[in-house]
Structure formats: structure tokens, C-alpha cells
């Protein structure tokens, strides 16, 4: 089942009076349950592409259908609600709220969704257990290693039961062991629960685990390879 349909996606920036084409007429579909890496050299458009798919950035041209909803045509307030309920994000810099515990960080999006307290507590406990941090629920980010913080970020991304997860260089700040642990957890969640992951990455470890690798060069799709 297609959950993302992208047509003629283009993003043009203006820099010092010059036009820079970051993403150039990209056409792609993503199915439920994919584990996909978007790769390419620096400046190839990976992050810009991910930001548009996530509704963080608006395209200059084209459309993005998420579960048949054209997110490019949504008003700002509608887009915020849509992102909150349909898209999970894992960032390179973790982006946890420092004054909240791991459990509270995971629960936060459910709080914004007005989920009952008991449901928030149950879901956050299940997710932190799934990422191997059930013993660190009450720890604040400053008391967690980088790898542990990124695992909290994965649990937080899953909390809203999104249609897919976008992960922008999620292993970039991690040591090898932490990166491998994080990737194993995400791959397990993908295979066992059919959760869709789309990565922007330079990391060959991510690429090796991906079952689909899309290569961007100068904002265009140079390769789209599947490996089952």
C-alpha cells in the first residue's frame, strides 16, 4: 500500500540573488513497511527532500500525498496537526526537552494530542521497553549517553503511532556500538511492526541495512535500488 506519493517535487532557494535548485523534479512513491535510505553527497538535496516530505519545508513546485492527503495544500495550522498525528521525526541532534525525563519526553506528543494520562503512561512504558530503556524512564537527557538519547528520540517518534518515521542522519553523533544498537532496534521495529522508516544518511551501516537505497545527485534521483 502506497503511503507517500511524490510528484514533480522541486525546491528552489534564492541565495545572494542567485537561484539554487536543491531538489529538482523528483517523482517517488513509498510503500507501507519500507526501510529506505536516501543517500548522496553533501548538497545533493537529501535533507531538503526529507524536510518537504515531513511538511517542515514547502516545495516550490509539485505535490506530496501522504495517505492521499496533499500536505502541500494544507494551511499552516492544519499541517501542524497533520504532522503531529501522522509523521514521526528522529533528528541528528536528538532534540529532547532537557527538563523532562525520558518517559516525559516520549509522552509529550501524546499530551499534545490530548491522550488520557493512563494511555500516555502505558504507551511510553511499552516504547521505552522496546528500545531497551525501561530502566532509564525517569532519567533526564543529561544523564543519558548519546545513544540512549537517540533511542528515546526513536520512542518519542513512535508515540503518536505515525504513518512513517523520517530519520535525518540519526547515527551521525553516535559511536559505532551505539549506532549499531540503534539501527538494530529500528530494523526490529520495522520488521516486526511494519513501521516505515525513511533515512537521510551518509552512514554505510544504515545503507547496508536498508532494503531500498535512493541516491540523489544535484537534487535528482540518480538511482533507486531495492534489495530484499
- Give the pLDDT confidence of 23-69 residue by residue, as tens digits: 999 999 999 999 999 999 888 999 999 999 999 999 999 999 999 99
Instruction: Return the pLDDT at 126.
Output: 92
Fold classification of 2-226 (topology level): Rossmann fold (3.40.50)
CA 28 – CA 103 distance, rounded (Å): 36
Q: What is the pTM of this model?
A: 0.91
Domain ranges of the chain: 2-226
Above pLDDT 70, what percent of the chain?
100
Cell of 136: 532509564
Round to whole Å and give the CA distance between 155 and 175.
Answer: 20
Amino acid at each position: 500500500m502506497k503511503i507517500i506519493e511524490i510528484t514533480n517535487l522541486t525546491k528552489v532557494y534564492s541565495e545572494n540573488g542567485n537561484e539554487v535548485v536543491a531538489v529538482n523534479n523528483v517523482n517517488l512513491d513509498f510503500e507501507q513497511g519500507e526501510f529506505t535510505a536516501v543517500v548522496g553527497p553533501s548538497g545533493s538535496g537529501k535533507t531538503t527532500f526529507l524536510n518537504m516530505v515531513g511538511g517542515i519545508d514547502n516545495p516550490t513546485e509539485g505535490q506530496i500525498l501522504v495517505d492521499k492527503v496533499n500536505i502541500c495544500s494544507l494551511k499552516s495550522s492544519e499541517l501542524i496537526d497533520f504532522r503531529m498525528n501522522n509523521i514521526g521525526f528522529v533528528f541528528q541532534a536528538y532534540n529532547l526537552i532537557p527538563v523532562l525525563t525520558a518517559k516525559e519526553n516520549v509522552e509529550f506528543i501524546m499530551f499534545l494530542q490530548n491522550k488520557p494520562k493512563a494511555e500516555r503512561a502505558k504507551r511510553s512504558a511499552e516504547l521505552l521497553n522496546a528500545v531497551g530503556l525501561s530502566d532509564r524512564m525517569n532519567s533526564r537527557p543529561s544523564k543519558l549517553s548519546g545513544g540512549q538519547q537517540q533511542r528515546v528520540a526513536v520512542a518519542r517518534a513512535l508515540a503518536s503511532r505515525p504513518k512513517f518515521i523520517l530519520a535525518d542522519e540519526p547515527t551521525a553523533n553516535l559511536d559505532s556500538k551505539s549506532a549499531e544498537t540503534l539501527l538494530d532496534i529500528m530494523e526490529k521495529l520495522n520488521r516486526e511492526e511494519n513501521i516505515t522508516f525513511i533515512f537521510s544518511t551518509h552512514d554505510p551501516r544504515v545503507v547496508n541495512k536498508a532494503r531500498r537505497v535512493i541516491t540523489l545527485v544535484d537534487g535528482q534521483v540518480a538511482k533507486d535500488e531495492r534489495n530484499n
